[in-house]
Chain A
Amino acid sequence: MSGPYYKGLISLRSINWGRNYRYDAQFGDGSVPSPFQDWFPLTDVEVNEGTVVSTEYKFGQSTYRFPIHANAMDMRMTFNDDEDYTLLQWLKTWYNQIAGSGFVEGIRGGFVQTLAECARPLTLVRLGPDGEPATDPNTMLNVKLWIYPDQAFYWRGSSMPEIPTYPANFQVVGVQ
């Protein structure tokens, strides 16, 4: 069929468009303390759903690209905290358990955990307008991501009327 494929308003109205703010998240391993054990206060989340790395191949006067491998997934999230800094303590403990760079009761530095020891499951659900999962719960849109915190994590004090907000990076080491 030849175009036009896009018919302006009619085409736009024929789609049930998604919304960025329809998602839900929970750490399902019971590691997150009260009051965030049931829902995690994510305000922003970005998941690297796939990265394909290509290489160049020069032949004659042209350059060609073709895929050679896929990169590991990572994700970024921003979340809030309560007046007891519950999630600051939770994440700090997680960091120290992984790399032992600081001091946690009973655990000193000088070791690094294995992936199996440090990864925790984050259930991330993309929701439809009715608050239900956007598609079948078993699809890739509703996933359990096994993640561990990666790179630097900062607590930030401020003199502005704000609540604690943490941006943090994670590596995704498994998808269920």
Chain B
Amino acid sequence: MALRPTVNSMRSVGEYQRQYRWNIDFTMAKLLSGLQNVGLNIQPGAENGDLNLLCETAELPRRTNQGIVLMNRGSQIRLPGFTLPVGIISMSFVETVTHPIHSVIREWDNAIWSRIGPDGDNTASGLSNPDNDLKLKQLDMLQLDSQDNIVRTWRLFGVFLEDFDPGGVLEGAVADVQRVSIMFSYDDYDDFT
């Protein structure tokens, strides 16, 4: 007799992971010299400036294997090659009227490729800080259980701002908050319990 799952067996699994129980630890962002100069409070719990609070959705990192296809006279086998992280995740943020999200984007982007000089002119010099001053050493995405215990940490390494959507169109007939998307680039990640 096939052992098909029943209601009881589904109940016996234990606590299911809830999609909505998570936190993102932006505290490591302090390592970024460009952000420190803005004077933003990006620590958890800071009203308006808390990126973790304003983050609405966050994509989890993943990696893929660059498989090798070996074919010889009509027979084919697939071999594992090297594994590479996809390298980009997207997060969406709700913006407030103090514009912490847009400010982070502006400062980070300007630190990577200088467009605006100290006096606000569009000098577009293209100057840049050293790579290690532009990238977060690590960024932790935490999954929680129903008691807010950390059950899994997704730790991104070498994070920087790669792309963003500033929030679409300034509408005249839609009642909604502004949502800003940021695509973060990362070198690698680890996930652990």
Contacts and interface: CB of A to CB of B under 8 A. Distances in A.
Interface string A143-174: 00000000000000000000000000000000
Interface of B: 68, 70, 72-75, 77, 79, 81-82
6 contacts: A6-B72, A12-B72, A12-B75, A12-B77, A17-B70, A21-B82
Interface of A: 6, 8-9, 11-13, 17, 19, 21
Contacts, number: 20
B161 to A, nearest CB: 15
SS class, residues of chain A in contact with chain B = loop
B36 to A, nearest CB: 23
Contacts of A13: 77
B81 A8 contact: no
A6 B82 contact: no
B113 to A, nearest CB: 10
A159 to B, nearest CB: 11
A13 B79 CA distance: 10
A9 B74 CA distance: 9
B73 A6 contact: yes
Nearest to B130: A83
Contacts of B77: 9, 12-13
Contacts of B68: 17, 19
Contacts of A19: 68, 81
A114 to B, nearest CB: 42
